Structures are given as C-alpha cells and as structure tokens.
Structure 1
Amino acid sequence: MRTEEILAAIGTGLWSWDSSSGTVSLDAEAARLLGLPAEPVVRPGEEVRPRFHPADWEEIDGVVNFAIAEDTVAEARMRIVDEAGRVVRTVRTRSKPVPVDSPGRHTYVLMGILQEVAQPPETIASHTPLTGDWRRSREAFLLDAGRALAEAGSTAEVLRVAGSLSMPGFSPDGLAVFGVSGDHLTVVGHHGHNIGAEKPFIDMPLETDYPAAEVVRTGQAIYLSSPEEYRKRFPATWPLARDFGRRSWAFLPLVSSGHTTGAWMAGFRHSVAFSPDERSVLTTVARMLAQALTRAGAAETERELSLGLQKAMMPSLGPGVDGMTIAARYVPTGGGLQVGGDWYDVIALPNGRIALAIGDVQGHDVRAAGLMGQLRIALRAYAAEGHRPDAVLSRASRFLSGLTDAYEPADGEDGSDATRFATCLYAEADPETGTLDIARAGHPDPVVISVDGTAVIRQTAGGLPLGIETDADYPTTRVVLGPGETIMLCTDGLIETGGHDMATGWTRLRPVLEKPAEDLEELADALVQAVHGPGSHYTTGPLVDRREDDIAVLVLRREAARTRKPPGRRSAMTIAQAEPERIAAARQQVRELLHDWADAEQVDSAELMVSEMSTNVLVHTDGDALLLAEVTGPRGERRLRVEVADASDELPHKRRPGEMASSGRGLVLMEMLADAWGVDPRGEGKSIWFELYESEDPPELGRSAS
C-alpha cells in the first residue's frame, strides 16, 4: 500500500506550495479537504487561496517566516470555507518550509500535511495556541521581549526585564537563572521568590538530580507539566520545589557561542501543557536571555577592568598643596575598555614646588592607554630628577620616539599606525609666588581666570608633539597667578567634542569658566557638563555613555590673600628678541582682557599702543620685553594699566616723524590715545606705561599725559 493511501485512510493529505511559481500541488485527499474534486491536482495559488478563511490566511506568512528563521515546522489551524464563505471544516497543517535559491528573491517550498480536526468552540479557540490571535500575541511579545533584553545593560537589569515578561496565555509567576562555576551550579539571579529562597540551590554539584543541573549537563530542555511528573522524574530534589506551590515548570539551556553556560527556570502556578508553540516561545526567550546575559556579563567585565586600569593609571591628587587648590576630571570615550590616551598628573618636586602635567596620546585603544601609562611614568621620573620643564619634555619626546620605533605589530595587525605621538603641557608651579613655568608640546594653551571671573587664553611658547623628533626643543613661558586666580589645563576633547573646532569650543566654554563657582570641584563638574549636557554622569571613575573623545581637565587656584584687594584682572608675558611674532599674542591678550570694555575704540587704541611699545623695545634695545597688563576698578569705571619693561637704561624721546618715516610714532600715539602715560626709570632698565579709563563716551584725545 502506498503512503498516500495510508494517509488518506486516516484523513490526511499531502500538499506543497511553491512561492516562486505560486502553484499548489495537492494529492487526492488534500484536494478533498479543500473542497476540490478528490484527485491529484496542481492549481495556481490564486485558485486555492479563497478556500481558506481570510483571517487565517493572513497569519500563514508570519508562521512560515518564523519557522524559516527558527528552522522549525510551521504549524497552524486553518478554516476551510465554501463559495459562500461559510466554514465547512477546520484543518490542521504541519509543513516544513524549504528555502529555494532564487536571484534577488526570498522564496521557499512549503511541504507538509493537511488533516481534518474537530472545530473547537469559538470561546476556546481564542485561547488555543493554533489560532491567529495567539500567533499575533506571540509575535508582538517576542518583538517587545527582544527589544527590552537587547537594551538591558547589566545582569541585574536583564533579570528585571526577564521577570517582567508577560508571555501570551501562560506567563510564569517566577523565574531563576542558573550559571556554572567549575563543577557546581550557581544562582545568577531570580525573580518572584522571597529573599533567601535561593539558598538550597546555591553551589549545587552538577551531578545533583535536579532539572537545572541536568539541563546544563545535557544541553536539552526539560518540561514538567505537573507536580506528579516532577516528583516521578526528580524524586531527590522534589521536596525543594514542592514548597513553592507551582504546577508546571520549564527548564531551558542558556546557550552562548555553541556552549551551554547555564539554565533558565520558568515556574507556573497553573498547569501548562507545553504545546509546540508554547515550547517555541520559551526556546526563543531562552536564546534571547542567553545573549543578553552574555552581553551584560562582558560589559560588566569591561567596566571592572576599566575601573582597575583607571585607578592604576590616574593619580591621586593627594592632600593638597599649601597655598594652592587643585581639582581634576577624567572622562573616557565610553567605548570598549573606556580607557584612552588622555591623562593628568600632579607631581611633588624635590625643590618643594609641584609639577602639573596633562597630555593626550594619539588614539583611543588599548595601545594608546599602554603608551600613556609608560609616558606618565617617564615624566614622573624625569621630574623627580629635578629637570626643568623644557628638559622634561625633551627627554619624554625621546623616550616616546624610542617606544614607537621599537613597536612590532602582532600577527594580522595593521602596522600603519605604529608611530604614535602625544601632546603634553608640563608646568612647574611655585606655591609661594604663584609663578608657573610652562613648556608645551603641541597641546592646547592654558586658560587663566582672574579674580573677577574673566577667562583669558594664555598663549605660551610651544614645540612639536612628543615622539615626532628625538631632539625637539620646548621653550618655557612664565605665567604668574595672582592671589585668587585660577589656571585651567585640558585636552582637546573638552574643546572639540560636539563638532566644535578650537575657536567655537572656547566660545562654548568661556561662559562656564567665567560663571562664579563655589570651589574648583564645582568648576570641574560644570566644564564636563557643558560638553555632555545636563544629567551626564561625569566623575573621576568610568562612564558607560559613549563619548567622541577622552577628556582630561586639571584646574589649579592660588589661594586668595587674607587682605584681599578689589577684584581685578591681569596678564603678564615675555616677548623675546628672537620671537617678534609674540607681539601678536600680546595684542590678543590685551583684547581678551578688555572683552567687556564699554568703548570698542579704546580697545583698538590699547592694542595699537601695546604693539608700538613692544616693537620699540625689540628694535631699539638688545633685550627682551616684559609686558604687564592690569584692569582694576568697578565696571563702568575701570582702569587699564599696561607696562612694558626692558633692561635698557636709554630713555625714549618723543620725535616728530616725517610723513615717510618708519619709526618715531610710539610716544606720539600714546600722547594722543592714552588718558595717562609715562616712562619710569628702574634700577636696571626702565618701564614705559599707559592708562585708559573706562567711560561710556569716547575719551578726549590727548586729555592728559605725564
């Protein structure tokens, strides 16, 4: 007897549906069940489709697609209707979708059986796992569950999401996740149980006759639909489960990368038959849960490693320095190990001073972090030997160049970035006098904040980034902090994050720097918040948010004098004979000091006079020029005083230059533009100075001179 005859005898027919050609092949029994003549036939799909109830037909695509994705059998219950649309019978189909290669199309052949079944009452059908309503609920549930588990960032959050899942028609009232430690079963977490209920299951040997242990040993799911079945299969551990008062249990393996890493238990207070569709849902949830736990575990391991690396690499600021206050922040990019190439350091020097260092190694990977750690140690060693800032950076550049030259990429690693460089700013600070001798290697300039809150970029001399040349020179610039003044050092991540360049980045930070803050800790927090927005979790520890670039910030404030003078702002800089281009920097310093001055014409006048005074020193003497600019007084009545000192004893003379003369206009301009000016002899050299008085109205030219 043929197979078709045997199947026909039990009311079962064979059919296949080719999605590429759109044709349906039916044997005689399958044709009869669909209301067609009882004979083998191949019909177009358009003729067969009206034989199915429209509501059931809409579900078949989802069932088939799910079966293709899960490599399972597509099972459904479908109603057959006549020409008038009346339901004449209900058939059960079990079919295997077989994908077919077709260029540019996703096609398959659905092959299986059709079998007539008794049509259940409508009230029951709405809750059976073979109806379209249940399938729609299942697909919506799996979509929501997958999204929620994918967004969970920690093991605790994964367990919370898993415990809140409401499965369609058979939600568990409790769950537990088991892991493996050596040859013992452990409890990773649980939901729906009292505190301490997990104690009997902690550290259970894998040989124990317990469902979760067997699942881990075999990798096969276990479904227990009744207490009797549980007691019969696992008599030794049934007493442990009996007290929870459940009626059904599902134990499923948690599989990651082909290995069983644990088990998931779902317990039910009502009886569950665990039909194929219910098992399919539980299996899918177990897969998603295993993936989510693996991701969360890897993320937590990375965070722990990041925290350890940061604690090892980032220095402690210590108890502080007499006469100075220091605060710092480090914010990693948030990607990968969350440790990059930015760093800061505070170093106690043998001469009683302190050194501040801040830098940025090229890159945001593990190698950048490793180079940063080595470079930081080298800087500390050179500083401890008592070298001056320029010598410290020169030696550090030679050290980094040697490290990158000796680097050999690992097998399969791209060696194109073997040469790495680093930017760095190193400053030696004297707490007693407030002076900072700064050497800079391709790093952003510092910012000085006056007592009245004015923030000015303090331009300093600099050299190439570390590691580019083995014999690079790094000139030193002296900056003097007055009592109550603050200096801020940072890496370019603070300035350029958010699509900014150096100019727009400083514009964004300036209001933050000039806003009054209770202390330096508040200022450091405000700077990071200005870049990452309100609500960002910025600390000296690791962050989980993804960042564009690492950020390091170091702020130092010289403590204010007990007899404090009225708030003012000042700037000082040296213009060397060999650096006439520093005159432009001096002009910029004065303009920034006067950024909120009432009369813009006075600002232009101040710039012009500073340029003339500095140029005269470089042209008519053999020494350097020392410029000191200071703004004092209440707003609207402030006074600007600028002094340019040199070591020459020759006093300037006022001349009347001809129309074509290239010099001789300095004192004439001061007489015309300044509210007051003069020349003061000193023990060694002289000082030329001028003053401007703030006014809402332009000054009267040549008003006074001395």
Structure 2
Amino acid sequence: MRTGEPLPAVGEVLATLATGVWHWDTATGLVTADAEAARLLGLPPEETVLTEAQTRARLHPVDWNEITGIVQLAAAEGTLAEVRIRIMDERGRIVRVVRSRSRPSFDPVKKAYELIGTLQEVTEPRPGTPAGRTAVTGDWRRSREAFLLDAGRALAEARSTEEVLRVAGGLSMPGFSPDGLAVFGVTGDRLTIIGHHGQQPGDEDPFTQMALGTDYPAAEVVRTGRAVYLSSPDQYRTRYPLTWPLAARFDRHSWAFLPLTVAGRTMGAWMAGFAYPVAFTPDERSVLTTVARMLAQALTRASAAETQRELTDGLQRSMLPTLGPEIPGMTLAARYIPTGGGLQVGGDWYDMIPLPNQRFALVIGDVQGHDVRAAGLMGQLRIALRAYAAEGHRPDAVLSRASRFLYGLTHTDDAGADGDLRFATCLYIEVDPATGLLETARAGHLDPAIRLADGTVLLRATAGGLPLGIDPDSDYPTTRLALEPGEALMMSTDGLLETGGHDLDSGWQRVRGILETHEGGLEELADALVQAVHGPSSHHTTGPFADRREDDIALLLVCRQCEGGVGLGATAPARTAVRRSVLTIAQAEPERVAEARRQLRELLHDWPSADQVDSAVLLVSEMLTNVLVHTDADALLLAEVTGVGPGGRRIRVEVTDTSDDLPHKRRPGELASSGRGLVLIELLADAWGVAPRGEGKSIWFELYETPGTDDPDALPDAADRTDPAPRPDPADQAEGPDLG
C-alpha cells in the first residue's frame, strides 16, 4: 500500500488475518457470523445467522458451559472475555481450536448480554513443551478468569485449615500448575509449617521452627511482605546459598514464594514449587498473587472457625458431666453432639446423679435455643437439678422445684423486655440398681424407650407435665417402670429423631430399627445410633460432621446386667424369655387406654396371628374401660409374653384394681350398650379367670400362639399347651359390675 492511499476496510484486514467477526445478543438468542467466522465454525464461508442451539451444536459442550461463566465475569469486571473453543463436526469430532475475544455488555432492563468479538484459529501446543505450559489451555480450556472464579468459590467454601490446604493442592493453574505447595505460618519469631502438599510426610521437618532471620525465601517474604520468584536452581543457589541444600533434594526447577496478607498484615507465606522452568511472566505473577490473597482469606476464616469450635466445644465439655463411678449391675453410655449452626452450643444435656441408698438419677433435657444463653441456662438448670436431687427429693418434687427455679431465671424484667422467655424439657428417672425399679417424672420431654431381652423395643408411656419454666406451680406425676435383667433403656433429645428430614414418628422408626437389630456392647450401640443420623462420631463430635448437625443430640443409655452386651448377639447369663409391659391408668386418664392398646401391639409385634393380636387389643380395652367406668379405682395393666416361638408362646394379660366387686356375665338385649365383656372373653380367650387380691381383684386372660390364621393345620395340639387355670363359672360369681 502506497503512502496516502486510503486504509482498507476493517473486514478486509480481518479476512487477510483469517479472523472472523461474530455478534451474539442473548435477548434475541441469535448469533451472527461473517464469512470467515462461519468457516471457522465448520459452515459454508458466507455470512450467516444462527440460533443459540445451532451455535452450541458446533462447540464442545464443556467449552460452551465455560463461555457462560467467562462472559458473566468479564461483564461484571468490564474486561475482555477470552476463551479457547473446540469446534466439533457432525460426528462429534474436534476439527479445530479457535480463540474467541469479545467485550460483553449487560443490559439491566432486558437482563441480557450483547457481545461483539472475533474468532481466530490457533495451533494447540503439545503438552509438556514450554508453549504448552505457558498457554492458557487445559483439558477444560479454562481461561485465567474462569480459573480464578472457580478457585475463589472453592476456597470460600472450605470450612477448615485441612480443607483449605486440600483445595489449594488441587488447583490446576492455567498452564503452569505447581507440583508442590507449602503454607508457612508465624509463631513468635519462628516460621512454622501449617500444611504442605506434594511432599512426603517428614519432609517439612528441616523447615519447622525456622527463625525468621534465616536466609530462606519464606522467611524473607514474611519479614518484608514482598513476593520472591526464583525461575531456576541457579537463581535459588545464588540468592540463598545457605538454605539451597534444603531445597535441592526436591529436584524442582522454579519456585514462587508469596506473602499471605490479611488486612495489611503478613500472616505467613505460600510456596509453589514447579518441576519445570517457569519464567513468571506478568500474567503468571498476577494469577499467583490473586490465588495467594484468596488463600490468605480462606486460611483466616478457617482458623477463626476452628478457634471458635475449640472454644465452644470446651465450653460444652465443661458443662457436661462424666458418667461417674461404675454402678454394680448397670452399664451406662452417653453421647453429646452439638448443632452445626451458630456457636455450636445449645441447651441439650444429660447427667447421672448419685443418690442416697445406693440409687442414682438419670437426667436428660433440652433448653430452648442454640446459643450461648441456652448453654448458660442449661448449666444453671443442671446444677439446680443436682442440688434438689442431693437433698433427697422424689422425682416429682425435683422437677417442680427445677421448674420454679427456671421460671425465676427467665421471667426477669430484662428477659421479659427482650422477649427471651425460655423453657426446657426434661426427663428425670430415679434408678434402683438392685431391683431395676425406675421412678420417672417427665416435663414435656420424649418418653423413654426400652429394649427387652429378646430384642423387642417398646416406648414406655409415662405421665408428664408442662416443660420446665412455663408455670412455676406445675405438677409432675411419677410413673413406675421396671428394668428387667438384660433390658436396656434409651433416653434422648428430639435431635436424635428429627434429623435428616424426619419427624418424630419416622425418626423413631429409624432409631427403633437400630435398637432391635444391634449386636454388641452399649458403647457400640450409642455409636450406631449417632452414626445412623449423622455419620461417624465420637463422644463429643467436632469437625466436618459437626458442621452438618441440624440440632443438638443428647443420648443416654443404661442396661441392667448386660455384661455380654445388648442385642441379638449378647449372651448375658441373666437373660430371660419373658417379655413384659406394665402400665397404670388413673381414673382421670381414660385417654391412656389408647396407649395401653398401642403398647400391647408393640409387645406382640412378631405374633404370627393378626386375629389373635386384634382379639387381645379388644379384650384389653374392655377390661380397662370396665375398671374406669364401674369402679372408683385406678387400673394396673400387666402383659407378659412367655415361652419360645414359633407356636410355643403365651400372652397373659392381667388387669388389677382395688375394688372388691367381682364381674359377672349378663345377657344384654340387642340395643344394650354394655354387658358383653365376659361374653367376648369367653369367645376370644384360650383361658381366663378372676383372682381376688385381698384388697381388690384381678381379671386375666391368656392366648396361645398359633402359626397364623392361614395355616389351621399347624395349630398346636391342646395337649402340648400349658394347662390353663380353670375357668370360673359365672353363675358362681357374686353380683358386681358387668364387664363390658
């Protein structure tokens, strides 16, 4: 071109350079390509308009996904978007690699991007060559912006120092990935190793506790706050002759030492070592500097979180008790797992309190909330409960006093002004190790569960009152239970059940399955229960699993005479074949008849005949209702399953009351609403009877196990059954209330 002649058109220049031009408007979803851009996309060399779907079909799917992220980043930063794209043919084969450069803009009204850019074919350098290392390439063709975006996201999500180091070690920098990393910290006037990657265990020993005045690159970086780049072993040897022998054995060719700076303070140094020569161009230094800043921020956040976890875990440990001395005939196990939110402190707790007369109390509870105030109230309430128990009060009196105490703490003027009125649920059980007798009082807490010696698991319904701290005058009635040899009792807070999307019912079914099938000791059972909810844990879990807790969990297990363990594989000599359930129903608690039916069904969960189970439940309802309607006494229900199945077991149900009036059979009319109780017992029971008790009476019935109603030929012969007591003749009974 001669001087003075007009310049050629831009399009002609670009065509001469084999560079195409394209325009993409996400509002319309159309991509316009000139003839050269169309050729590079594998289309006829003529200007064309494509839809986004048509354009996407010409590109490698991984590269298309990266284009979206790079465009968003470039538009936000006001920079150029540059990415390498693999062009595919109709058979899915890569035909060429092109470089796309564009400047995206974002229209907030249309909420769309508009891009005008260029396409130019590039030659892929061979891996391992200098060009291959310095080019912004990789298996996923990640540009510098995309790499930094991914690195920042990954480091921001790291929750611990170990996780930060793992993320840093896995970063694949665009074109010049290091093969070894080390993070140095500072303690006093000494350099310490926070962590390393790419070296063998023990390789860090010579660098540990190195004085900051040592002629070593990391020490200089910490002293000056300026990065050190060493492109070759000669540079390292010349600049740091004293410490070069320490680095020479790693057989690396280039090193970058960068300061880890937060809020203007250098907290350490980051070393990136390379197995090949790196020139450390301005672009490479920019990437390393940005990664070092993100790494410093991530380490600071992780260190603060770990310090907080250590503090709160120490606080929680100081508030939770040990289980104290061994109790003859009893085995105990406990677990506490904090929530993963906030400060990881909460109001859940458990306790074991020695009492006079060789007894002890088991306590478990939950103060409302997951914060420091909840933990503080929990500590005070626990101390108060121990004090009231040590004074010799019965379980109902202990909870009444504790409720009044918590009410006084939470209903102060300050608490009322802040609207911070807290309450607590609690389950208090006084245990007699010699007899296995349990006296329970409950304040709005979950009922305890008992695993019988044969593996049957029952929820033991207990009388209860309001949660502590709501009403200072609340009463807490007591319920007596018995723990037989070989049986285990479970007390827990609702976090054990209501985790992982479960409610109380579905969560109980999950826990019940573990209790029924577990084999081994009580400690193993505690671990199995916690692991089923959250994964592996220790007595007080911290770390990655603790971060995922939805609610605090407190768990307390006690087993009577379980030297051989608890579960199907246990072989304690005191095991018995009796399966027993006891329940008291007061005159003022007719709703507990439904609880009696539920407990009886649980007791007969593996009974083969559904008809016999229904019959037993019906007869229990009749007998309990008769006591509540026709007497002024409370009813005591005792149900026992004895014998060995299949076909050799017997269920005996006995209802006792303090009334001396004996039942008698009636002949009710068709419209009568009562009077059919004894008729039903005669029809459905295999044996039944009435036994005077001196003061009061008991009426009982028995059913003998059959393999099932579908197999009548398999019924046991009458001679093989246990000989029942003779049935009383209703004509000989004294006049009294009718049963039904």
- TM-score exceeds 0.5: yes
Residue 651 of structure 2 corresponds to residue 640 of structure 1: yes
Matches within 5 A, 1:2-21: none
Q: 2:556, 2:636 → 1: CA distance?
A: 27
> Is the CA contact (8 Å cut-off) linking 1:76 and 1:130 kept in structure 2?
no
Match of 2:387 in 1: 381
> Is the CA contact (8 Å cut-off) linking 1:647 and 1:686 kept in structure 2?
yes
Q: Cα 1:233–1:469, aligned 2, differ >3 Å: closer, same or farther?
A: same
Letter aligned with residue 181 of structure 1: T
Q: Which of the numbers 141, 150, 158 marks the counterpart of 1:136?
A: 141
Q: 1:384, 1:150 → 2: CA distance?
A: 51
Match of 1:502 in 2: 504
Q: SS where residue 136 of structure 1 aligns?
A: coil
Letter aligned with residue 598 of structure 1: P
Match of 1:540 in 2: 539
Q: CA deviation at 1:182?
A: 4.2
Matches within 5 A, 1:145-156: 145=151, 149=155, 153-156=159-162
Q: 1:134, 1:582 → 2: CA distance?
A: 68
Match of 2:365 in 1: 359
Q: Percent identity?
A: 64
Match of 1:81 in 2: none
Q: CA deviation at 1:61?
A: 10
TM-score (norm 1): 0.77
Matches within 5 A, 1:206-285: 206=212, 210-226=216-232, 247-256=253-262, 259-268=265-274, 270-285=276-291
Letter aligned with residue 678 of structure 1: G
Q: Cα 1:202–1:363, aligned 2, differ >3 Å: closer, same or farther?
A: same
Q: CA deviation at 1:158?
A: 3.5
**Comparing 345-354 and 362-371, the one that deviates more:** 362-371
Q: Cα 1:62–1:517, aligned 2, differ >3 Å: closer, same or farther?
A: closer
Matches within 5 A, 1:321-470: 321-406=327-412, 408=414, 415-416=418-419, 418-470=420-472
Match of 1:7 in 2: none
> Is the CA contact (8 Å cut-off) linking 2:83 and 2:141 kept in structure 1?
no
Q: What whole-Å deviation, never above 9, does each CA across 1:600-623 have from its counterpart, x for those lacking one?
A: 333333233323333333344443
Q: What whole-Å deviation, never above 9, does each CA across 1:372-403 have from its counterpart, x for those lacking one?
A: 23322222222122111111111222222223
Q: 2:438, 2:240 → 1: CA distance?
A: 77
Residue 586 of structure 2 corresponds to residue 576 of structure 1: yes
Q: 2:682, 2:469 → 1: CA distance?
A: 50
Matches within 5 A, 1:515-530: 515=517, 517-530=519-532
Q: 1:379, 1:356 → 2: CA distance?
A: 11
Q: Which runs of 5+ in 2 are unaligned?
A: 1-5, 17-21, 25-31, 42-62, 85-98, 117-121, 564-571, 719-723, 729-740
Q: 2:210, 2:296 → 1: CA distance?
A: 21
Q: Cα 1:634–1:103, aligned 2, differ >3 Å: closer, same or farther?
A: same
Q: What whole-Å deviation, never above 9, does each CA across 1:528-580 have from its counterpart, x for those lacking one?
A: 34434xxx213322143213322222222222798757512111122223323
> Is the CA contact (8 Å cut-off) linking 2:530 and 2:536 kept in structure 1?
no
Q: CA deviation at 1:694?
A: 2.2
> Is the CA contact (8 Å cut-off) linking 1:626 and 1:646 kept in structure 2?
yes
> Is the CA contact (8 Å cut-off) linking 1:179 and 1:262 kept in structure 2?
yes
> Is the CA contact (8 Å cut-off) linking 2:75 and 2:106 kept in structure 1?
no
Match of 1:297 in 2: 303
Q: SS where residue 390 of structure 1 aligns?
A: helix
Residue 487 of structure 2 corresponds to residue 488 of structure 1: no
Q: What whole-Å deviation, never above 9, does each CA across 1:441-485 have from its counterpart, x for those lacking one?
A: 111212222222222222111111112112111111111122222
Q: What whole-Å deviation, never above 9, does each CA across 1:111-150 have from its counterpart, x for those lacking one?
A: xxxxxxxx99988894474677899355476566556655
Q: What whole-Å deviation, never above 9, does each CA across 1:286-341 have from its counterpart, x for those lacking one?
A: 23322432343234334433442342233222343212222223333334444433
Matches within 5 A, 1:617-636: 617-635=627-645, 636=647
Match of 1:600 in 2: 610
Q: Which of the numbers 633, 651, 656 marks the counterpart of 2:662?
A: 651
Q: Cα 1:657–1:296, aligned 2, differ >3 Å: closer, same or farther?
A: same
Letter aligned with residue 291 of structure 2: V
Q: 1:336, 1:665 → 2: CA distance?
A: 61
Letter aligned with residue 375 of structure 2: A
Q: CA deviation at 1:353?
A: 0.8
Q: CA deviation at 1:196?
A: 5.8
Match of 2:738 in 1: none
Q: 1:200, 1:269 → 2: CA distance?
A: 21
Q: CA deviation at 1:439?
A: 0.7
Letter aligned with residue 182 of structure 2: A
Q: 1:616, 1:687 → 2: CA distance?
A: 12
Residue 688 of structure 2 corresponds to residue 677 of structure 1: yes
> Is the CA contact (8 Å cut-off) linking 1:353 and 1:428 kept in structure 2?
yes
Q: Cα 1:76–1:497, aligned 2, differ >3 Å: closer, same or farther?
A: closer
Q: Cα 1:195–1:654, aligned 2, differ >3 Å: closer, same or farther?
A: closer
Q: What whole-Å deviation, never above 9, does each CA across 1:199-246 have from its counterpart, x for those lacking one?
A: 565445556665434434554433233456557766786676677665
Match of 1:611 in 2: 621
Q: SS where residue 626 of structure 2 aligns?
A: helix
Tell me the C-alpha RMSD between the 2 structures.
Answer: 4.6
TM-score (norm 2): 0.74
Q: Cα 1:684–1:415, aligned 2, differ >3 Å: closer, same or farther?
A: same
Match of 2:697 in 1: 686
> Is the CA contact (8 Å cut-off) linking 1:138 and 1:281 kept in structure 2?
no
Matched residue count: 646
Q: CA deviation at 1:348?
A: 1.2
Q: Cα 1:71–1:267, aligned 2, differ >3 Å: closer, same or farther?
A: farther
Matches within 5 A, 1:17-36: 34=13
Q: CA deviation at 1:262?
A: 1.9
